[in-house]
């Protein structure tokens, strides 16, 4: 683990740097290809917000490794969240399904952090309204534990035991200008 | 935002948020399951003192697509028809637990009064000759989709023709479209303008022909034939000749320009049948857009914590 | 028999301080300090209080008979006394309309029985206020109520021929026609002053010209037949211009303005609260400024409250459904202090003139409106202009609560009112319920 040294990584401790993130994604891409038998009938759906660039990177890696043009899209789960009443109404982000739809496909949901599992639960509900996939799998960059629902990831970049007092922050170049995963105490 | 009563209360950012949200919700209409669970457990009451099946159905569809419960309260054959006061009706709705009341009423200012008597959100579905903000929102949404997807309406030239004096759609559109950056021109005979229209954020013209070649959008408003009896114009024929959008006038519009009408139309008075049915006309999609925009409004007003309640 | 009174140290309207001795309902003497009062006189300390001749209201709606849910003669005159009034003119738009000797005498008697102030009934100009046929003006003039002011207020006498006849007819008994100037055709369905606010709020406009055109016509008629015209509740700058012109010709025209038109504008309608709905409507700031100037220079002769009480359900509704009118008896003097005295436009002598002397003269009312002087009737109002400004309460002696000033901070308070030497109000409270 490298100490945070560059300008944008101001908070807390860096637990994954850009290089480690790249290696994790490479491994996940290979794993997806294995478990979807080449990805022909599979679709990557990034959960907004940071799941989307991750899904795109995975799609690019898959195309690089095997030339497969795996479908890649975005899923906004705001409308299916179970915690809407706790804050004022949030703006919606884009939901874009790759050409065709999800019926009969293997859908791989992609997100940055798996924590309580509620976001994934909302994503499953949102997906159910969009069609009937053949099966649904889950890829996450970081699993930080503390599940509140019976949900587990099929592909994990890094297992990161944390306490609930801690905050895990994933920074991605497409959104934040740099690649980094950081842990900090809440409030730092 | 707790209530939606006047388009003048909506800031540019809020307007864009509503339009962006509507853009995301538009795809719901194309899905096999046209429903989202977001407003499950919320109650929306349609309080319609004026007959308006089209608007009421639009709000009902919007609420139901968000899984809200809908209660329809129409003036005919109810305690309202027997003379129950607006205040007592409001207190009844309160007791029924309405999270939002959508009100259409013939008296300007009714939503303002209602907001003082209920705790829920009040949505103005048309009050007298004052405003109809969701109509303006769906009009703006339609213009944006056709001419400026994803952006504001800056520089778009909109001509609105019709009875401005009694026109709630005109008022709301002038306010909202100018907030979004459009340049609005109102066209009508002098008798159908309010005296102080010069202070509104728009231009005024008595000459429809002069405005058409420079318009990106022409919005025709319904003119009530009864206005003839109060000497607002001498005859329907003269009104139609001077201010109606016929095929000859439509031909003078720029190629990209669109023709709008909030409905219901007086075919042959303010708009010719051929114009209403032409590909430039957005009249049918305005109806579909109405449901989408109303879904966005209901979501933004009811989908999160109530004001003063957030725990986040 | 009223007890003897010594009012000590009051500030007189014309300036200087004095002791006022009251005996047998008359002012016995007005003298410098240390003048002795009659033995056994009750002493009222009036240090710092302004002594005005009892105020006279030319325009009040007491609602009885017929609308006792809104006000009665009892409650209305109680409100008047608390406002410093010793006489009010009760408008004729009751149910039944005060268009016969019978009804005006009934109202007159109710006033005497209540005892808070004198009630001078106003007779209708036309039968049933319908504007078609003259009411029995002579019978009303000869009745016990001695009606001299005639008005269809609430409605306009729109028919020019009827207005001419009415003006001519009352010459026989020194009467005056008080017109509510509102062209009915130009104001069909009107809700609010026609202007920027009405356009923005989507409320049908009540154009200033609908008032001004009728006033111009009536001034010409009054001049033509040589009879007295009084213009009720002037509300626009244009109306002031016309009245000024008519007076410059020496024509027999007088005019009144309400307290609310001296202070409030149509911008208050923004929230659609019908407490601000009044006829004629609230106008613009420019109109308010001109009305103040006109009252100061005497073009407008007097302040008249147009006190118009309404029950709660008539005002707690959509604007278009709501009744027209505002209460005003209890707040009138405070509003006039705020709008006219504290702004330097009028001094207390001017207030005495505009709120007592001239209204009594226009109303041809004996026994009221005389500047305080020995030998005159002891109709006196003691008013405290100093002290902290207090928020107006909507709840008062009036049965109704539709005051546009509720919650507003206004200066001053009426401390005492004396009706022919009998205190009707002492220390800001009624002496009898």
pLDDT of amino acid B21? 96
Domain enclosing residue A150, as ranges: 19-77+94-165
Residue % of chain B over a pLDDT of 90: 80
Assess whether pLDDT exceeds 90 at residue B262.
Answer: yes
Say what the pTM is.
Answer: 0.90
- Answer yes or no: are the C-beta atoms of C108 and C119 closer than 8 Å: yes
- Answer yes or no: are the C-beta atoms of C97 and C90 closer than 8 Å: no
Q: From A127, A74, A72, select the one nearest A103 (Cα to Cα).
A: A127
Asked if the C-beta of B52 comes within 8 angstroms of chain C's C-beta atoms, the answer is: no
pLDDT of amino acid C84? 98
Burial class (CB in 10 A: 0-12, 13-18, 19+), B71: middle
* Between residues C87 and A12, the one the model is more confident about: C87
Assess whether pLDDT exceeds 50 at residue A9.
Answer: no
* Between residues A6 and A46, the one the model is more confident about: A46
pLDDT of amino acid C256? 98
CA-CA distance, A91 to C116, in Å (whole number)?
65
Q: Label residues B203-242 b or e (16+ Cβ within 10 Å = b).
A: eeeeebeebbeebbbbbbbbbeeebeeeebbeebeebbee
Assigned CATH for B7-132+288-302? 3.40.50.1370
Q: What's the rounded mean pLDDT across residues A35-49?
A: 94
Q: Band of the pLDDT at B53, cuts 50, 70, 90? A: confident
Lowest mean pLDDT among A148-152, B79-83, B192-196, B221-225: B79-83
Lowest mean pLDDT among A80-84, C278-282, C378-382: A80-84
pLDDT of amino acid B302? 95
Task: Assess if residue A105 is contained within a domain.
Answer: yes
- Answer yes or no: are the C-beta atoms of C414 and C84 closer than 8 Å: yes
Residue % of chain B over a pLDDT of 70: 96
Q: Do A87 and B304 touch (CB under 8 A)?
A: yes
Three-class DSSP category at B74: strand
Assess whether pLDDT exceeds 90 at residue B163.
Answer: yes
Q: Do C198 and B110 touch (CB under 8 A)?
A: no
CA-CA distance, C65 to C71, in Å (whole number)?
9
CA-CA distance, C404 to C334, in Å (whole number)?
13
Assess whether pLDDT exceeds 80 at residue C1.
Answer: no
pLDDT of amino acid A5? 45
Q: Do B196 and C271 touch (CB under 8 A)?
A: no
Does ipTM exceed 0.85?
A: yes
Q: Do B304 and A93 touch (CB under 8 A)?
A: no
Residue B132: active-site member: yes
CA-CA distance, C416 to C110, in Å (whole number)?
23
Q: What's the rounded mean pLDDT across residues C37-63?
A: 93
pLDDT of amino acid B205? 97
Q: Do B109 and C272 touch (CB under 8 A)?
A: yes
Residue of chain B with shortest Cα separation from C271: B112
pLDDT in tens, A134-177: 999 999 999 999 999 999 999 999 999 999 999 999 999 999 99
Q: From B284, B28, C152, C116, select the one nearest A76 (Cα to Cα).
A: B28
Q: Band of the pLDDT at B74, cuts 50, 70, 90? A: confident
Q: From C277, C149, C117, select the one nearest C204 (Cα to Cα).
A: C277
Architecture of domain C55-362: Alpha-Beta Barrel (3.20)
Q: Do B299 and A79 touch (CB under 8 A)?
A: yes
Q: Band of the pLDDT at B82, cuts 50, 70, 90? A: low
> Hey, which residues 99-158 in chain A have their CB within 8 Å of chain B?
125, 128-131
Assess whether pLDDT exceeds 80 at residue B307.
Answer: no
Q: What's the rounded mean pLDDT across residues B176-200?
A: 96
Task: Assess if residue A87 is contained within a domain.
Answer: no
pLDDT in tens, C251-278: 999 999 999 999 999 999 999 999 999 9
Q: Do B304 and A84 touch (CB under 8 A)?
A: yes
Residue B130: active-site member: no
pLDDT averaged over chain A? 91
Please report all neighbours of C, defined by 3+ CB atom pairs within 8 A: B
pLDDT of amino acid B181? 97
pLDDT in tens, A85-131: 888 898 999 999 987 789 999 999 999 999 999 999 999 999 999 99
CA-CA distance, C386 to C53, in Å (whole number)?
19
State how many domains chain A has. Answer: 1
E-assigned strand segments in C24-135? 26-31, 42-45, 50-53, 55-60, 85-90, 118-121
Which ranges in chain B are annotated with CATH 3.40.50.1370?
7-132+288-302, 133-283
Shortest Cα–Cα distance, A64 to chain B (Å) = 32
- Listed by start position, the domains of chain C span 5-50+375-390+407-430, 55-362
Residue of chain B with shortest Cα separation from C318: B110
Assess whether pLDDT exceeds 70 at residue B77.
Answer: no
Q: Band of the pLDDT at A2, cuts 50, 70, 90? A: very low
Chains B and A touch (3+ CB pairs under 8 A): yes
Task: Assess if residue A5 is contained within a domain.
Answer: no
Using a CB-CB cut-off of 8 Å, the residues of chain C touching B194 are: 198-199, 205
Assess whether pLDDT exceeds 50 at residue B164.
Answer: yes
Using a CB-CB cut-off of 8 Å, the residues of chain A touching B299 are: 79, 89
pLDDT averaged over chain B? 92
* Between residues A53 and C31, the one the model is more confident about: A53
Among B35, B302, B305, the residue with its CB nearest the CB of A129 is B35
Chains C and A touch (3+ CB pairs under 8 A): no
pLDDT in tens, B224-233: 877 777 889 8
Assess whether pLDDT exceeds 50 at residue A58.
Answer: yes
Using a CB-CB cut-off of 8 Å, the residues of chain B touching C275 are: none
Domain CATH code at residue A151: 3.40.50.2020
Assigned CATH for C5-50+375-390+407-430? 2.30.40.10
Residue C415 φ/ψ, nearest 5 degrees: -95, -45
pLDDT in tens, C150-182: 999 999 999 999 999 999 999 999 999 999 999
Per-residue DSSP letter, B120? S
pLDDT of amino acid A60? 96
Architecture of domain B133-283: 3-Layer(aba) Sandwich (3.40)
Residue % of chain A over a pLDDT of 90: 80
pLDDT of amino acid C15? 87
Assess whether pLDDT exceeds 50 at residue B312.
Answer: no
Residue with the two structure tokens 């509104």? B200
DSSP letters, B232-297, are SSS-HHHHHHHH-B-HHHHTTS-TT-EEE--S---BTTTB-HHHHTSTTB-HHHHHHHHHHHHHHH
Assess whether pLDDT exceeds 90 at residue C192.
Answer: yes
pLDDT in tens, C321-340: 999 999 999 999 999 999 99
- Answer yes or no: are the C-beta atoms of B67 and B36 closer than 8 Å: yes
């Amino acid at each position: 683990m490298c100490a945070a040294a560059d300008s944008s990584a101001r908070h807390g401790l860096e637990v994954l740097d850009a290089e480690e993130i790249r290696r994790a994604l490479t491994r996940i891409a290979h794993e997806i290809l294995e478990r979807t038998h080449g990805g022909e009938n599979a679709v990557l759906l990034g959960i907004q917000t940071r799941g989307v660039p991750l899904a795109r990177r995975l799609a690019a890696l898959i195309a690089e490794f095997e030339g497969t043009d795996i479908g890649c899209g975005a899923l906004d789960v705001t409308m299916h969240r179970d915690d809407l009443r706790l804050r004022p109404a949030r703006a919606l982000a884009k939901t874009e399904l790759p050409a065709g739809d999800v019926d009969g496909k293997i859908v791989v949901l992609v997100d940055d952090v798996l924590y309580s599992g509620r976001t994934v639960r909302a994503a499953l509900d949102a997906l159910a309204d969009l069609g009937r996939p053949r099966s649904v799998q889950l890829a996450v960059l970081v699993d930080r534990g503390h599940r509140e629902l019976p949900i587990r990831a099929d592909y994990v970049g890094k297992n990161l035991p944390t306490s609930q007092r801690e905050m895990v922050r994933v920074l991605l170049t497409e959104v934040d200008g740099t690649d980094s995963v950081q842990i900090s105490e809440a409030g730092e | 935002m707790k209530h939606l009563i006047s388009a003048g209360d909506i800031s540019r950012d809020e307007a864009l948020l509503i339009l962006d949200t509507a853009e995301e919700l538009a795809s719901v209409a194309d899905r096999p399951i046209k429903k989202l669970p977001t407003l499950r457990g919320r109650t929306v009451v349609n309080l319609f003192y004026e007959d308006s099946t089209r608007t009421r159905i639009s709000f009902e569809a919007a609420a139901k697509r968000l899984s809200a419960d809908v209660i329809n309260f129409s003036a005919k054959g109810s305690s309202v028809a027997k003379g129950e006061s607006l205040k007592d009706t409001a207190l009844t709705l309160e007791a029924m637990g309405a999270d939002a009341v959508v009100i259409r009423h013939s008296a300007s200012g009714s939503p303002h009064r209602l907001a003082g008597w209920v705790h829920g959100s009040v949505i103005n579905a048309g009050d007298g000759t004052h405003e109809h903000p969701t109509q303006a929102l769906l009009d703006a949404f339609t213009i944006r989709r056709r001419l400026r997807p994803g952006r504001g309406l800056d520089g778009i030239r909109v001509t609105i023709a019709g009875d401005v004096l009694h026109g709630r759609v005109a008022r709301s559109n002038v306010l909202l479209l100018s907030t979004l950056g459009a340049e609005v021109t109102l066209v009508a005979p002098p008798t159908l303008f309010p005296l102080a229209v010069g202070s509104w954020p728009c231009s005024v013209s008595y000459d429809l022909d002069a405005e058409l070649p420079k318009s990106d959008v022409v919005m025709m408003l319904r003119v009530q034939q009864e206005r003839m009896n109060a000497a607002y114009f001498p005859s329907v024929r003269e009104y139609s000749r001077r201010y109606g959008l016929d095929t000859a006038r439509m031909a003078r519009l720029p190629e990209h320009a669109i023709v709008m009408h909030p409905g219901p139309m007086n075919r042959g008075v303010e708009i010719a049948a051929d114009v209403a049915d032409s590909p430039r006309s957005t009249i049918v999609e305005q109806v579909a857009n109405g449901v989408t925009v109303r879904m966005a409004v209901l979501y933004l007003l009811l989908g999160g914590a109530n004001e003063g309640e957030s725990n986040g | 028999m009223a007890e003897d009174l010594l009012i000590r140290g009051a500030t007189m309207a014309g300036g200087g301080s004095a002791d006022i001795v009251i005996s047998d309902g008359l002012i016995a003497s007005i003298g410098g300090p240390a003048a002795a009062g009659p033995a056994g006189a009750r002493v009222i300390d009036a240090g710092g209080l302004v002594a005005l001749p009892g105020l006279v209201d030319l325009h009040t709606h007491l609602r009885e008979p017929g609308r006792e849910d809104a006000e009665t003669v009892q409650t209305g005159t109680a409100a008047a006394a608390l406002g410093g009034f010793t006489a009010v003119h009760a408008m004729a738009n009751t149910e039944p309309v005060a268009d016969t000797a019978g009804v005006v005498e009934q109202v007159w008697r109710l006033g005497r029985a209540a005892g808070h102030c004198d009630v001078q009934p106003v007779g209708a100009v036309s039968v049933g206020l319908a504007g078609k046929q003259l009411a029995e003006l002579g019978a009303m003039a000869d009745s016990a109520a001695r009606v001299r002011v005639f008005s269809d207020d609430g409605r306009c006498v729109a028919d020019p021929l009827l207005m001419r006849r009415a003006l001519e007819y009352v010459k026989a008994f020194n009467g005056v026609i008080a017109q509510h100037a509102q062209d009915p055709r130009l104001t069909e369905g009107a809700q609010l002053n026609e202007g920027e606010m009405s356009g923005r709020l989507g409320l049908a406009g009540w154009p200033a010209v609908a008032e001004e055109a009728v006033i111009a016509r009536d001034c010409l008629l009054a001049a033509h037949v040589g009879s007295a015209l009084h213009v009720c509740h002037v509300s626009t700058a244009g109306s002031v211009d016309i009245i000024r012109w008519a007076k410059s010709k020496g024509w027999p025209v007088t005019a009144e303005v309400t307290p609310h038109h001296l202070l409030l504008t149509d911008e208050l309608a923004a929230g659609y609260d019908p407490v601000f709905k009044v006829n004629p409507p609230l106008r613009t700031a420019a109109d308010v400024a001109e009305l103040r100037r006109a009252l100061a220079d005497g073009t407008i002769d007097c302040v008249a409250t147009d006190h118009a009480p309404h029950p709660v359900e008539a005002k707690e509704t959509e604007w278009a459904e709501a009744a027209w009118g505002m209460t005003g008896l209890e707040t009138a003097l405070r509003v006039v202090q705020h709008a006219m005295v504290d702004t330097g436009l009028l001094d207390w002598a001017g207030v005495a003139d505009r709120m007592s002397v001239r209204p009594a003269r226009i109303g041809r009312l004996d026994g009221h409106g005389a500047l305080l002087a020995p030998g005159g009737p002891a109709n006196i109002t003691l008013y405290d202009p100093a002290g902290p400004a207090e928020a107006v309460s909507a709840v008062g002696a009036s049965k109704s609560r539709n005051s546009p000033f509720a919650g507003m901070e206004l200066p001053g308070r009426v401390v005492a009112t004396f009706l022919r030497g009998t205190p009707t109000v002492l220390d800001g409270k009624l002496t009898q319920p």
